[in-house]
Structure 1
Amino acid sequence: MARILSLFQPQPFLALVGRRKPLLCKMSMDSRARKVFAAAVEAVHPDTVVRQSIERKDDTVIIDGHKFKLKHNLHLVGFGKAVLGMTAEAERIMGDHLVKGIISVPHGIQQTLQQHGKGHLLLKENSCIKVMEGAKHNLPDADAQKAAEEIKELASGLTEKDLLLVLISGGGSALLPAPIPPISLQEKQDVTRKLAAAGATIQELNTVRRALSLLKGGGLAHCAHPAQVVALILSDVIGDPLDLIASGPTVRAEVWPEEVLTVLESYNLLNSLPASVKDVLGRPSPRWRENKEEADTPGHVHNVVIGSNSIALQCAGRRAREVGFRPVVLAPGVCGDVKAVARLYGLLARFACSPEEPPPEIAAEVLRLGPDVGVESWDLCRTMQVLGEGRADGWGALCLLAGGEPTVELTGKGRGGRNQELALRVGLELREMQLPPNGPVFLSGGTDGQDGPTEAAGAVTDGGLCEEARAQGLDVDSFLTNNDSYTFFSRLSDGQRLLVPGLTCTNVMDVHMLLIPPIPINMS
């Protein structure tokens, strides 16, 4: 441990990031935090990520360094919450080379975009792309299944001369339900619901879900063979695993009935399976093995992640520099209980703001928290090294950035979401660390613009939060016990600490931001 902690003594890391102090803006820390968050969201707008990923040169399109010839041979399918905006931009770029398309999008999304002045994310009136809305309340339904059937029909009719552009974003799994006949949609949902209730892991759920689906687990790409398939993916999953985003319709996954049966047996569900599910799982050959030669065709499918939490954090870092901060990215995959995550940020704030070298116990606790919050020891060491050098050399303001998707243990019936609760808990941590009210500022916000069943995406907090709440007669602990962070922030100073960006039309999980004020050089 002593060897690890020695990393946090001042090192010549400044040679990598430069010694020039950024100029401080006159705007408040709160305002600058909101501007940095806005930049993160802007970077992953659906039209922006598509525009930046497709380069059109006459009759050739270049995607991720690969060239594809356009001969009025382009077809398009898509599914997900952000796909309508992605499709609108793709349609503008591809022009009349686009022959036909079908997209499955959330119920009511077109009207919502129109009402919020987002008309540029809608398709043109004479579009050759059919928009099908479904999956009310983010659950598969008959409308979504109908869209999936039409998408399958389109893909299955393509030839080796065709190019299929597949647009995928979060929510795509619910919008592309296609159970293998004779399984009904309700039967498939019942099986996966029972598995989830029994405590199955996400890997086990996906194993079963893919086995019962025509299009998930690479089924869509299989249907499109021998056409060339290019998938542009906006990721809402930690680590951007292609097989998990929308359940991987363009990512080959070998489906073994024996493996599925083992999962179901381990949760004592075999005897309660519908006859249709037993029929499908009893067939000798999994989908991909029916024609292995086709499945293994080189270059048949090209998957590209064009938007992610990492991309959002990179752009946030650039904006942070513009408004006077020296950025450092911790990690894009913070997870675990919000209590542990809040503790981590409180410790990092104290580590950065200590007027003298902080006690080694702080760094040791940070490292112990790493596995609980999904952050590697290396990333924690690197981050603390930068924060330590900032303290030792009297840098200007620092901006610690991270992303991910923590979880909240529900103990009450209040309103709010993980971002507002995280912000509230970090406010408590900053008070317990005895950091000044004009010290660090923390922001947590969902890039989809909504945190739980509220219009807020998150909140901004600092060390003065608890004193401000006490002065207004608000008991922080009681609001946390009831998971009522939204009500707390709404009542606190007329809701000024809430983060309400409005409809963002995208989702790459959450952005966390810890702003460290300028640290004076220790002249002793």
Structure 2
Amino acid sequence: MDDTEARALLRSMLDAAIAASQPALCIPGRLPAPGEVARGRLIVIGAGKASAEMARAVERNWSGPLAGLVVTRYGYAVPCERIEIVEAAHPVPDAAGLGAARRMLALVRGLSEDDTVLCLISGGGSALLPLPLEGITLEDKQFVNAALLKSGATIGEMNCVRRHLSAIKGGRLGAACHPARVVTLLISDVPGDDPRDIASGPTVADASTCEDALAILRRYGIALPEHVLDVLRSGRGESVKPGDPRLARAEVRLIATPQMALEAAARVALDAGITPHILGDSLEGEARDVGKVLAGIALQAARRGQPFAAPCVLLSGGETTVTVRGNGRGGRNVEFLLACALALRGEPGVHGLAADTDGVDGQEEIAGAAIAPDTLERAWAAGLRPHDSLDDNDGHGFFSALGDSVVTGPTLTNVNDFRALLVVPPRAT
């Protein structure tokens, strides 16, 4: 298998992972039965990078009356007839998201027990619903989000802090719907698929506390203004806890997950005669460290046939982190790949691809990148210094200069990161 064939196969695996997670495939069959909402209204709300496409799938599969509002990332809107689509900023929130969050809360207040709220939640919803608690401003939320993104905190830790500074997350949106029934359809982008961490769980009870949030801020040395810290120290930021009667009629349906996406990619590999091995759907840690570890496994497979014999592909998902210390353009998938390429040192027969399934790695409109045995050689020939690029958190700059970026455009779904290391016997020359 030459480099072109290897890259094409890796890209077809990514495309299959994205296709398996499309709302048009996942929504039908998971909606409430028409008879369950016969006496009341169906109100559709939602947030996330996939929420607009989820809303369109609902419209196409629901014959009765409905109305609603969802908020998605700029560039991710799709045409809907009965559900209003609002676009806002991600990953750092803006005024459009703030306004949408306020309108969403107003939309669900005053419902009856005969009404049903269908909540469409996917990754990205934390930034897209930035409604702060009283005493906190949007600028405060923007500062907190930016600091968390640079800190190296895990997605679970970031969302714990966000839940306790929000007037809509941590179960508060679900509580506002009471006494209506709430059905939440989730597309997971978080390790472990914990509903509390998908968009910070706006309709889900949360057992974590303000003290937990404060401990996370201390752990990563994140200094916040005193008036923000006071919300946590005073307990005013406590989320809706398990057993709260306002969530007694709330249920969650997980409709797409990273594991489902990896299994779809594995089927593509099998069809090509390559044995797939799913190493995990929830790998976390510093992106560069994960890159070194998975490169080591690929090297052992290439050189020793252990723990897997070639030809094989090592698949994994999850969400790594990047502690930003340099001035580069960041991106956890490209940072993973650059560290991986350095550890592989041009090993013959080892190729790789890593990308975010939503089409955006970090804050770039680039999904990720691909590597081949000649990546470092081509970089040196072009005057690039791979170690310096890694130290500067400039994976995007590095791979863009080589023409090795992977660009998908808006995928209209989000099941976290996709990583694949393909190990094939090098072609004899």
TM-score, normalising length from structure 1?
A: 0.70
1:487 aligns with 2:397: yes
Checking the alignment, whether the CA contact within 8 Å between 2:178 and 2:247 is kept in structure 1 is no
Q: Paired residue for 2:58?
A: 90
Kindly state the Cα deviation for residue 318 of structure 1 after the two structures are TM-superposed. 1.2
Which position in structure 2 is the counterpart of 1:160? 113
User: Counterpart of 2:388?
Assistant: 478
Pick one of 227, 230, 235 that aligns with 2:183. Answer: 230
Q: Does 1:42 align with 2:15?
A: no
1:367-407 Cα offsets, whole Å, 9 max, x none, are xxxxxxxxxxxxxxxxx3xx1xx36xxxxx21211012223
Match of 1:344 among 271, 288, 293: 293
CA 210–341 in structure 1, closer or farther in 2 if over 3 Å, else same: closer
- CA distance change for structure 1 residues 423 and 282 in 2, over 3 Å: closer, same or farther? closer
Identity %: 35
Contact 1:456 1:498 in 2 (8 A): yes
Q: What is the one-letter code of the residue matched to 2:73?
A: P
1:77 aligns with 2:45: yes
For residue 345 of structure 1, report the CA deviation from its aligned partner.
2.0
Paired position in structure 2 for 1:330: 279
Alignment correspondent of 2:333: 419
Amino acid at match of 2:267: R
Which of the residues 169, 173, 193 maps onto 2:126?
Answer: 173
Q: Which residue of 2 aligns with 1:131?
A: 85
CA contact (8 A) 1:147 1:176 kept: yes
1:122 matched to 2:79? The reply is: yes
Rounded to whole Å, the distance in 2 between the matches of 1:282 and 1:323 is: 56
1:473 deviates by: 4.4
Classify 1:344/1:105 alpha carbon distance in 2 versus 1 (closer, same or farther; 3 Å): same
Equivalents in 1 of 2:218, 2:392: separation in Å? Answer: 37
- Determine the C-alpha separation between the residues in 2 that align with 1:258 and 1:169: 27
The one of 314, 322, 325 equivalent to 1:408 is 322
| Shift in Å, 1:107 | 4.3
1:185 aligned partner: 137
CA distance in 1, matches of 2:210, 2:370: 49
Matches within 5 A, 1:400-479: 400-415=314-329, 417-431=331-345, 435-436=347-348, 439-479=349-389
Shift of 1:82: 1.6
* Secondary structure of the structure 1 residue equivalent to 2:199: helix
Q: Counterparts of 2:332 and 2:161 in 1: how far apart (Å)?
A: 28
Q: What's 1:320 paired with?
A: 269
How far residue 78 of structure 1 moved from its aligned partner, in angstroms, is 0.8
Report how many aligned residue pairs link the two structures: 425
SS of structure 2 residue aligned to 1:42: helix
Question: What is aligned with 2:423?
Answer: 516
Task: Return the offset for 1:413.
Answer: 2.6
Measured after TM superposition, the shift of residue 230 of structure 1 is 0.5
Letter in structure 2 aligned against 1:308: T
Partner AA of 1:103 in structure 2: V
> Any gaps of 5 or more consecutive residues in structure 2?
none
Return the letter of the residue paired with 2:57: E
What's the CA shift for 1:277? 4.2
Contact kept? 1:25, 1:324, Cα under 8 Å = no
SS at match of 2:387: helix
The CA deviation at 1:350 is 2.1
Say what the alpha-carbon RMSD is for the aligned residues. 3.8
Alpha-carbon distance change, 277 to 41 in structure 1, aligned in 2, over 3 angstroms: same
| Structure 1 unaligned residues grouped into runs of 5+ | 1-23, 61-67, 111-120, 359-383, 392-396
Which is higher, the Rg of structure 1 or of structure 2?
Answer: 1
Q: Deviations over 1:119-149 (max 9, x none)?
A: xx3213xx2x233333x35334443233222
Task: Specify whether residues 280 and 188 from structure 1 end up closer, same or farther in structure 2 by C-alpha distance, changes over 3 A only.
Answer: farther
Q: Which letter maps to 1:130?
A: E
For the residue of structure 2 that corresponds to 1:174, the secondary structure is: helix
- Please give the alpha-carbon distance, in whole angstroms, between the structure 1 residues aligned to 2:328 and 2:146: 27
Alignment of 1:136-147 (within 5 A): 136-147=89-100
Output the CA distance in 1 between the equivalents of 2:282 and 2:157: 21
2 CA distance for matches of 1:252 and 1:292?
A: 8
Moved more, 452-461 or 334-343: 452-461
Secondary structure class of the residue paired with 2:410: coil
SS at match of 2:261: helix
Q: What's the offset of the Cα at 1:273? A: 2.4
User: Does the 8 Å CA contact 2:160/2:200 hold for their aligned counterparts?
Assistant: no
Change (3 A) 1:261 1:509: closer
Q: What is the rounded CA distance, in whole Å, between the counterparts of 1:418 and 1:195 in structure 2?
A: 16
Per-residue deviation, residues 34-55 of structure 1 (Å, max 9, x unmatched):
1111111111223333236448
Which of 286, 294, 302 is residue 245 of structure 2 equivalent to? 294
Are the aligned partners of 2:154 and 2:320 in contact in 1 as well (CA < 8 Å)? Answer: no
* Contact residue 72 and residue 96 of structure 1 kept, 8 A: no
Aligned to 1:243: 196
**1:168 offset after TM fit, Å?**
0.7
Distance in 2 between residues matched to 1:30 and 1:211, nearest whole Å: 43
- Residue 232 of structure 1: how far off its partner (Å): 0.6
Deviation at 1:307, TM superposition (A): 1.8
- Measure, in 1, the Cα distance between the counterparts of 2:236 and 2:379: 61
CA contact (8 A) 2:13 2:266 kept: yes
The answer to whether the Cα contact below 8 Å between 2:335 and 2:393 also exists between their aligned partners in 1 is: yes
Deviations 1:162-201 (A, max 9, x none): 11100011221222233444x3434863895699599988
